[in-house]
Every structure is written in structure tokens, then in C-alpha cells.
Amino acid sequence: MAKAKAKSTRRKATGAKSARFVPTAHQTVGPFFPVQFIRPSDNDLTGGLTDGRPRALGQPIMLFGRVSDINDAPAVNVLLEIWQANAAGRFNHPLDKNSGAAIDPNFSGWGRTATERDGSYRFTTIKPGGYPAGARSNRWFAPRLSMTIVGSGLMRPLVTCVYFPDEPLNDEDPQLAAIRDARARRQLIAVAEHHPAAPPGLPAFRFDLRLGGKQATPFLED
């Protein structure tokens, strides 16, 4: 009996060593997004321009563009979120210790929208101010906003930054300086361009995003 039991134990151990583990299936992000997930005012960070909320301080601008895939086809139902400092260069967040700039109580600094059937998107916001690169740093980030892109077919959220043309701080910005390829740096700078939906006198900037291929928009590492 003792020998038979030992033999059975060895058989089980051998079977455990030869077992193969099949990788868990993966899926892309999505599918997306219910209509109620994005409120009509989520792409307007200024407040008073569209729905009568208290007006944020600073220069209102329009940011618009087109999101396309690796084949330059419209990227439909892609979610875009922006996060930025206010006109004084201060984020509405407790971790921002830039005491030299005031918080604007009427500006959250956050917005959300989704692409249309042609891949287009649009935000109305306040042009951000520059801000220190760190508490003990003498360098400054140029006026810019962060953009996160999530969509069906993407394995993870993509993050990039949108800069503005003709800004003196662009030459000193640590993020831009870290990108050695001149073409890639230019891709992160929006282009001043008229938009038919922009009210008279409202500056508009175009920022297109390509999600893949040789002309892909530069995205930041997690």
C-alpha cells in the first residue's frame, strides 16, 4: 500500500510540471461611449461663452482638429480630455504650489469631448499661462495643455501636449527640448487657423492627431 501511494504522488507531481498556461485573451479599450457620458458643456471650459456660467478669466480660444488612424481614416467615437493651467499659470489642484499665481474659481481646467463621424473635435477654453517646471527649478513650461486620447482599437490611453505658436517659452520648455526630432516638435505646436464656428474675434488653433504610422503624433510615456 505504501509503495502504491508514493507512486501515485509522483504521477501527480509530474503532471503538474508538464501543465501549460494559456495566456489570457486581451481586448482593446472600448466599446464606447454612451451619449450621456459627455455633457454638452464639457467641451467649453470658459463658462460664459455658451451657457451663462460665470466667465473664466483670460483669453478665450478655440482648439479644434481631426483625429485619424494609421491609414488617415477618421477615428470615430474617440474620447479626448484636456487638463490645463488657467490664464495665470495655476492649476485648479491642491498639489499645485505655484503661489505666485491665483486660482480662478470659475475655471476647472478640465474638459471632455468625442470625435464626430469625420474624426473632428472641438474645445473652447482659456489660453493657459506658462508655469514653473518645478518648485526648485528656474525653467518654465510654455503655455500648453495636456490631452488624453482613449478609443476603440487603442490598447491604452495616449497622452500628448498641445503647445501654441509664437510663444517665447517654447524655446525653453523642458518637454519640447527633450524631443530631438524637429518634425516631432512641430507636431506638438498647434497652428493658428480660422474655424467657421468661432465667434468673431475668437482666436482658433488647429491641432490634428494621427494615432499611428510615420506621421504619428508624438505621445508621452506613462
pLDDT value for 27: 63
Q: What is the pLDDT of residue 15?
A: 52
Q: Where are the beta strands (DSSP E) in 55-135?
A: 60-68, 79-84, 110-114, 120-126, 131-132
* Residue 218: per-residue pLDDT: 93
Specify the pLDDT at position 9: 47
Residues of the chain scoring pLDDT < 50: 1, 6-10, 13-14
Give domain limits for the chain.
28-210
Query: Nearest Cα to 61, choosing from 24, 25, 32, 86?
Result: 86
3-state SS record for 206-218: ECCEECCCCCCCC
Give the right CATH number for 28-210 from 1.10.645.10, 1.20.1250.20, 2.60.130.10, 3.30.70.1070.
2.60.130.10
Place of cell 482648439: 63
